[in-house]
Structure 1
Amino acid sequence: MADSLCPLSPPPAGHNRGPALEPPSLLAVERWRRAKAARKAPSGVALRMQLRRAAELGMPPRDYLALRAFCGTDIRAVAFMPDALRLRFARSLQMPEPRRARLRAMRDVYLLGFAPPDEPPESFRQELSDLTGCRFAHCAPCSKTPIAWSEARAGARALLDPLRLPGASVLLVGDGEIATQLYGAARLGGLMSPEEFFGPDLR
């Protein structure tokens, strides 16, 4: 019996005495696929694996399961906007210790970063790695001001393409209009504010 939610080909002309329907858009098909996947309860083994993965990412199980259901795949990378890490620029980078500890606790995930404007991305990546004790895999430049949709997508892909990461497998941590543009233009797996990701007490 066909799933009643499945956007199959439209009924023939005259069905229920109505006009022929337009074929479903790719976006509608994708939304249906995600909704169908989300309503399937995971098996015991799959649930245990997902709970373990949530622990590796340092995320509450409820948040991880909701994120996974939304993006339809595991999170392979977490990308940070400059303000998400509460960096202070002095003679050298500074970051609150609770945030460094949160990053060090993560396992089996790429750490990525958007470099602040006018900061060379590779130098910024090395500084972040030295400061946190974590290996940041790649950094890309971040715009100072909101940008066009095509530029936002290109900026996000500049961060992901060196690691061949699909957008759906990447969680972006940040807030503000630029973060929202990057998230939407590259179809990233999720967007969390710094407070949601690090917790309200890790500011």
Structure 2
Amino acid sequence: MAGIGHNSGRVDEPGQSWRKHVWTKARKDLLPTLPIEIVRRRVKRAAELGLPYRTYAGIRASNGHDLIGFLFSSNALRVLRAGQKMPQDRADKMHMLRDVRRVGAAQSPLRPAQLALMSGIDDAIIAPRFTDSWSAMRETIRSQLPAPADRFVVVGDTAFEREWSEAAAMAGYLVADEYFAPGMG
């Protein structure tokens, strides 16, 4: 949880509306000039990631990189204790993902080794604790990911898990029920 005085990622400093206007215009000017081959490749990549094209394009445009992985909270996977199986709809979605790292973040009392036993997970890490500071959350996530954090999207269930994305400067956050919904991507 963020401490007293934290702005939850909002920028209220002077010039924010101008920067937003310029960024929005630049994105709008860029989109019509993309060659059709690039658009087709990105549509295909969005499908490999299980994302709608619009969501994928927005994430890619916001950080300038392709996604290489997802960080799934154990809550998002619906695995809350050792031996519990992931629901079939979530397991099916995990298996259809192509060319992407699937990292699970084990929240207490679950341990990474217990989460790693699940099919569909490439790696498992220790999730930040509720009592961690913003910088501790950042360090916990960044030190355990197999690649730069800005190339991963968090898929989670709670506002606390959304904070992981913000604290570690990750590519974005997706609500688990929307990501795993039938027909998504």
Give the alignment's TM-score, normalised by structure 1.
0.71
Give the structure 2 partner of residue 141 of structure 1: 126
State the Cα distance separating 1:39 from its structure 2 match.
4.0
State the Cα distance separating 1:65 from its structure 2 match.
1.4
Structure 2: stretches of 5+ with no match in the other structure:
1-14
Across the aligned residues of Structure 1 and Structure 2, the Cα RMSD in angstroms comes to 2.9
Aligned counterparts of 2:100 and 2:128: Cα–Cα separation in 1: 25
Give the structure 1 partner of residue 92 of structure 2: 101
Q: Secondary structure in 2 aligned to 1:83?
A: coil
Counterpart selection for 2:30 from 34, 40, 43: 40
1:61 aligns with 2:43: no
Aligned counterparts of 1:103 and 1:34: Cα–Cα separation in 2: 33
Which amino acid in 2 is paired with 1:82? S
Give the structure 1 partner of residue 103 of structure 2: 112
State the Cα distance separating 1:32 from its structure 2 match.
6.6
Aligned counterparts of 1:83 and 1:97: Cα–Cα separation in 2: 15
1:198 aligns with 2:180: yes
Change (3 A) 1:52 1:82: same
Give the structure 1 partner of residue 9 of structure 2: none
State the Cα distance separating 1:158 from its structure 2 match.
2.7
Runs of 4+ with >6 A deviation: 31-35
1:71 aligns with 2:63: yes
State the identity %: 27
Aligned counterparts of 2:149 and 2:25: Cα–Cα separation in 1: 19
Aligned counterparts of 2:24 and 2:143: Cα–Cα separation in 1: 27
Change (3 A) 1:34 1:82: farther
Change (3 A) 1:143 1:150: same
Aligned counterparts of 1:68 and 1:197: Cα–Cα separation in 2: 17
1:154 aligns with 2:136: no
Give the number of the structure with larger relative contact order, counting CA–CA contacts within 8 Å between residues 6 or more apart.
Answer: 2
State the Cα distance separating 1:109 from its structure 2 match.
0.2
Q: Please, which moves more after superposition, 108-117 or 167-176? A: 167-176
Aligned counterparts of 1:67 and 1:196: Cα–Cα separation in 2: 16
1:170 aligns with 2:155: no
Instruction: Please say if residues 71 and 189 of structure 1, whose CA atoms lie closer than 8 Å, have aligned partners that are also in contact.
Output: yes
Aligned counterparts of 2:24 and 2:151: Cα–Cα separation in 1: 14
State the Cα distance separating 1:193 from its structure 2 match.
0.5
Change (3 A) 1:35 1:74: farther
Aligned counterparts of 2:110 and 2:80: Cα–Cα separation in 1: 13
Aligned counterparts of 2:88 and 2:115: Cα–Cα separation in 1: 18
Larger Rg: 1
